[in-house]
Amino acid sequence: MLNKVFNSLFLFMTVLITYSCSILPFGNSNPSARNPGTTSTTTNLDYFSDAFAEDEDGFVVAGFDGQTPGPNQIFVQGGRAVLGTYEEDVFFTHDNVERTVTVQSFYLDQTEIANIHWLEYLFYIKRDSSEAFYQSALPDTTVWDKELAYNTPYVSNYLRYPGFRYYPVVGISWNQAADYCRWRTEAVNKQKAIEYYGEDYVEGDLPPIESGVYLPEFRLPTEAEWEYAAYGQIGNQFLDENQTQRRLYPWDGRTIRSSRSGSVGKFQANFKRGRGDYAGIAGALNDAGFVTTSIYEYAPNDFGLYNMAGNVNEWVFDIYRPLNFQDMEDLNPIRKSGFLDDEEDYDYENFNSMISNASRVYKGGSWADGAMWLSPGTRRFLDQDSSAATIGFRCATTALGTATASN
């Protein structure tokens, strides 16, 4: 008897749900990017789906399954955020005031670019490019060399020794990082073209935009993108759209030690604890590295991104200027030039300032920096053709037409 009642109730609910879906306006009947239908909603003309079919003479609407992220890339859902330094400004720079902005969704490398990735790059450009360009892509390994420190083994071994394969590449200038992004774009998109055309592939061919095959354009992230991703505030959005708990670091809490079960008391980043203290004492090391360490060494933040604080600083796209409320946009802000803040006002040529249009921002703190630099709101700058043993990078790509990864 009970089974009959249950079956009857189940049948009734099935019919009710089916009927509701058929009459309610928010059903799945409207066309979408993934399901455009078979005919035009404005002309009733048929759509065709195979761009390679010889007997089709009509408007082709290719299949679309959403944007596919590039290799090693994590989707970062955009949104509103308060960016800038909100702790005490120790150096009184006042160059990153708090401001509310919106950053659109994008993709960011899960990790810093490692030595093995740079060696792969060197291999292919040595084979396919000029000797001059290959020489220009070599990292400056002398960044490890100091007159009063015995770092000589790193000069010859850090880049190429297998034990350092998945350590972040350093000695890379902003210009070199930008060149790598362009090469990576060409390498990845060539593979996509070969997959798309198959046996019909001709060198240089790329799938048309209308095909739905996304061709990522790798680039350095904007400063706003990097800072937004580093904070990982998505992990604090529990009840409503108000951010009631900001973060000082890419993790919760106001300390650099972990409070998570199984790792209580351990440092959450690779940094310099104090003068002369890079790793702690033998038998109870503070962190995992005397200099850099593996790009996977510490737990990722809530976006799934590793080492957004410590290990190495990271180049971003923006040229350096003190940030304020006036000369900025509040949607996808970026500083591409000296617009409204000309370099002539800083008198770089007469050595009265270090700021010019070649000054590029780097962020995140490194193995040689104190804890204050681990906060994503802090920022420094260096000339775009300079490099250091404390600066690396990761790449970003744009998320097109989507607010979420599933659209």
Which amino acid belongs to residue 39?
T
Distances (CA, A) of 203 to 188, 211, 215: 14, 18, 16
Query: Given this model, what pLDDT does residue 239 score?
Result: 58
Q: What is the tens place of the pLDDT at every residue in 127-155?
A: 999 999 999 999 999 999 999 999 999 99
Q: State the SS3 of 74-143.
A: EEECCEEEEECCCCCCCCCCCCECCEEEEECCEEEECCCCEHHHHHHHHHHHHHHCCHHHHHHHCCCHHH
Query: Given this model, what pLDDT does residue 25 score?
Result: 45
CB 192 within 8 Å of CB 342: no
What is the pLDDT averaged over residues 370-382?
A: 93
CB 218 within 8 Å of CB 394: no
Q: Cβ contacts of residue 393 below 8 Å, gap of 6+?
A: 112, 113, 172, 177, 180, 220, 314, 315
Beta strands in 177-332 (DSSP E): 280-281, 284-285, 313-319
What residue ranges do the domains of the chain occupy? 73-398
Query: Given this model, what pLDDT does residue 286 score?
Result: 74
What is the pLDDT averaged over residues 283-302?
A: 88
The whole-angstrom distance between residue 203's C-alpha and the CA centroid of its chain comes to 30
Q: What are phi and psi of 102, to 5 degrees?
A: -120, 130
Q: What is the tens place of the pLDDT at every residue in 357-375?
A: 999 999 999 999 999 899 9
Is the pLDDT at 16 greater than 80? The verdict is no
Query: Given this model, what pLDDT does residue 360 score?
Result: 97
The CATH number corresponding to 73-398 among 3.30.499.10, 2.102.10.10, 3.90.1580.10, 1.20.1280.290 equals 3.90.1580.10
Q: What are phi and psi of 396, to 5 degrees?
A: -125, 160
CB 213 within 8 Å of CB 207: yes
The per-residue b/e assignment along 378-399, b for 16 or more CB within 10 angstroms, e otherwise, is bbbbbebeebbbbbbbbbbbbb
What is the pLDDT averaged over residues 30-53?
A: 83
Query: Given this model, what pLDDT does residue 317 score?
Result: 98
CB 333 within 8 Å of CB 222: yes
Look up the pTM and report it.
0.87
Q: What is the tens place of the pLDDT at every residue in 253-268?
A: 778 888 777 777 788 8
